[in-house]
């Protein structure tokens, strides 16, 4: 028997107070996670879920509680996002409930509750340099959100079974380990007599391009071609006490440690050159592949050779610790994140309301990348954004013969391939600075071509479709006429605790429980919610 832990599934219960204008005044929520028979990384996962239960929205009054549950099931572990996606899903669910209760466009509710400069998070970290409103406005314009929303409303009015939905949601993700002591890194830099450079650092390369980025940082600091830079295999015999390569901080920590080492060596060689050629320090200028010393230029190889003959140390170590961060877990206060990464996505979906079959029609992604270390790797990292939640399941999958995702009963997580990506997929990032160590900015176009989804399993009674619905059903990959599943839940209105109102529990507890326990992927649930919201049906 093979058992493997997956992403933690959550049960969230919440109350929300809001006014008729859709502004949220208070939130109280409990996030319970099924951890399994062993703790594993459940503590940090549930902590990270709390940190992101606000997502991009300001709660003036808030109480958030996490409950890690020990159960007699396999031990769940950390997946991409480390609990953040579960917390974000709770925040977006709250916004959708407020929008449905007030009759407002969900985008307008999101905009009215966005963080502004100077606001405090639930853990008392001030919001700084978080351009959420700018990103939301720009993506709304580029994705033609208003025009498409009107077209979707017209489509839904004529289509009794197939419904379309559109949603535009922001994201704010904290960058740093919440365990403060992990936010440190070291590097060791060697320069050899032939001018080549070798770097040893503590990050693990797993296809994300970390080694290339660290090499680019050193090449930029020493004004060298990238071909001169080599990275040694990660080895704690060279760089001890390394932190895990996680929390979206691998490039930050190890790149900064390598930068410290490179600058130490640069200062040492500059001082040697000033003494060797008898010029003031201000007349030392680093140029690509050479050093200007007064009125002459010294090639990098000549500089290294002269420094070796003068017995100058040609290696340097670097150490970096993330500044300004601190976290008191007992008090629930501090600055756990050095900064926030921000972005937004606009997704359009089609949902068959009888069978639950769905298709992601289009996704537009806008992300603030700042000054990118590697524009090429940035493009490669942006393209899978529409996929990660799509194949991260919390249930045990039983493979059928010939299944392209076949694996040993949940022992592995499969990837959906091209069919997991929407078409068209528009990716944009407003890079406000030039890339380090060269590189061109190229527009990101399109994405992998979609394939038809596997047909849904047939259920109970039959339904009659008109010609338009039949064509759309074929586009969704359905065979013949869709069948109604035996237990199609009825939509029920939600009870809310309004600001100033008496009593009442906010949000349908059954609906929230169904979200976290339904054996669907998180992206499927988000797509269905968007479709139901656009169709004017309560998401309960």
Distance CA 207, CA 188 (A): 22
Task: State the pTM of this model.
Answer: 0.69
CATH 3.30.365.10 fits 10-177+334-354+358-454+488-534, yes or no: yes
Please give the class, per CATH, of domain 184-321.
alpha beta
pLDDT digits (tens, 9 = 90+) for 45-65: 999 999 999 999 999 999 999
Locate 394 and state its tokens: 């919390």
pLDDT band at 494 (very low <50, low <70, confident <90, very high): very low
Identical fold, 10-177+334-354+358-454+488-534 and 184-321: yes
Query: How far is Cα of residue 47 from the mean position of the Cα atoms in its chain?
Result: 17
List Cα–Cα distances, 169 to 213, 230, 279, in angstroms. Answer: 30, 41, 58
Distance CA 173, CA 170 (A): 10
Q: Are 475 and 82 in contact (CB under 8 A)?
A: no
pLDDT band at 196 (very low <50, low <70, confident <90, very high): very high
Structure confidence at residue 50 (pLDDT): 92
Structure confidence at residue 456 (pLDDT): 33
pLDDT digits (tens, 9 = 90+) for 315-345: 999 999 999 989 888 888 999 999 999 999 9
**Domain edges within the chain:** 10-177+334-354+358-454+488-534, 184-321
Contacts with 366 (C-beta within 8 Å, 6 or more apart), sequence order: 135, 138, 139, 142, 343, 344, 345, 428, 429, 430
pLDDT higher than threshold 50 for residue 157? yes
**Mean pLDDT over each residue of the chain, to the nearest integer:** 76
For the ranges 12-16, 152-156, 416-420, 500-504, which has the lowest average pLDDT? 500-504
Structure confidence at residue 448 (pLDDT): 32
For the ranges 228-232, 264-268, 420-424, 503-507, which has the lowest average pLDDT? 503-507
Helix H or strand E segment including 380:
helix 375-382
Q: How many CA atoms lie within 13 A of 221 on its CB side?
A: 24
Residue 344: strand, helix, or coil? strand
Percentage of residues of the chain with pLDDT beyond 90: 46
When computed from its CA atoms, the radius of gyration of the chain, rounded to whole angstroms, is: 27
Residue 378: φ, ψ to 5°: -60, -45
Look at phi and psi of residue 76 and say left if phi exceeds 0, alpha if psi is from -120 to 50, else beta. beta
pLDDT higher than threshold 60 for residue 5? yes
Higher pLDDT, 371 or 490: 371
Per-range mean pLDDT, top range of 252-261, 397-406, 433-442, 509-518: 252-261
pLDDT higher than threshold 90 for residue 504? no
Distance CA 409, CA 393 (A): 12
pLDDT higher than threshold 80 for residue 421? no
Structure confidence at residue 69 (pLDDT): 92
Structure confidence at residue 475 (pLDDT): 44
pLDDT digits (tens, 9 = 90+) for 201-216: 988 888 888 889 999 9
pLDDT band at 294 (very low <50, low <70, confident <90, very high): confident
Structure confidence at residue 210 (pLDDT): 87
């Amino acid at each position: 028997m093979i058992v493997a832990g997956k992403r933690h599934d959550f049960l969230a219960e919440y109350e929300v107070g809001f006014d008729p204008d859709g502004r949220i005044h208070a939130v109280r929520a409990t996030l319970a996670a099924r951890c399994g028979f062993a703790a594993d990384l459940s503590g940090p996962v549930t902590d990270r879920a709390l940190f992101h239960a606000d997502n991009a929205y300001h709660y003036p009054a808030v109480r958030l509680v996490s409950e890690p549950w020990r159960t007699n099931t396999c031990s769940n572990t950390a997946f991409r996002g480390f609990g953040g996606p579960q917390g974000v899903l709770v925040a977006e669910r709250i916004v959708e409930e407020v929008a449905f209760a007030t009759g407002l466009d969900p985008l307008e509710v999101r905009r009215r509750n966005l963080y502004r400069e100077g606001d405090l998070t639930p853990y008392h970290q001030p919001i700084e340099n978080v351009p959420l409103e700018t990103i939301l406005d720009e993506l709304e314009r580029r994705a033609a959100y208003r025009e498409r929303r009107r077209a979707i409303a017209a489509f839904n009015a004529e289509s009794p079974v197939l419904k379309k939905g559109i949603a535009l949601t922001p994201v704010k993700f904290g960058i740093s380990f919440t365990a403060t002591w992990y936010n440190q890194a070291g590097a060791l830099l060697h320069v050899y007599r032939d001018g080549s450079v070798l770097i040893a650092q503590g990050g693990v390369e797993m296809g994300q391009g970390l080694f290339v980025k660290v090499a680019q940082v050193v090449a930029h600091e020493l004004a060298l071609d990238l071909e001169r830079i080599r990275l040694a295999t990660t080895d704690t015999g060279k760089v001890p006490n390394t932190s895990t390569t996680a929390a979206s901080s691998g490039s930050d920590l190890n790149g900064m440690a390598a930068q410290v080492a490179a600058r130490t060596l640069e200062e040492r060689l500059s001082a040697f050159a000033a003494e060797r050629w008898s010029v003031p320090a201000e007349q030392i200028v680093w140029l690509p592949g050479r050093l200007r010393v007064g009125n002459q230029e010294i090639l990098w190889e000549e500089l290294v050779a002269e420094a070796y003959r003068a017995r100058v140390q040609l290696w340097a170590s670097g150490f970096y610790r993330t500044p300004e961060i601190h976290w008191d877990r007992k008090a629930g206060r501090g600055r756990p994140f050095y900064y926030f990464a921000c972005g937004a996505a606009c997704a359009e979906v089609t949902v068959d309301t009888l069978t639950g079959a769905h298709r992601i029609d289009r996704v537009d992604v806008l992300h603030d990348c700042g000054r990118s270390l590697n524009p090429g790797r940035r493009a490669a990292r942006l393209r899978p954004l529409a996929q990660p939640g799509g194949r991260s399941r919390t249930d045990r999958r039983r493979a059928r013969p010939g299944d392209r995702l076949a694996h040993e009963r949940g022992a592995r997580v499969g990837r959906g391939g091209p069919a997991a990506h929407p078409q068209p997929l528009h990716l944009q990032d407003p890079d406000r600075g030039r890339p380090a160590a060269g590189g061109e900015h190229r527009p990101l176009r399109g994405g992998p071509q979609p394939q038809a989804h596997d047909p849904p399993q047939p259920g109970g009674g039959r339904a009659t479709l008109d010609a338009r619905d039949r064509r759309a059903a074929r586009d969704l990959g359905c065979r013949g006429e869709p069948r109604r599943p035996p237990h199609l839940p009825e939509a029920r209105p939600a009870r809310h605790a309004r600001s100033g109102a008496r009593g009442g529990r906010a949000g349908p507890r059954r609906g929230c429980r169904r979200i976290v326990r339904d054996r669907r992927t998180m992206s499927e649930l988000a797509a269905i919610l968007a479709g139901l919201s656009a169709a004017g049906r309560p998401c309960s």
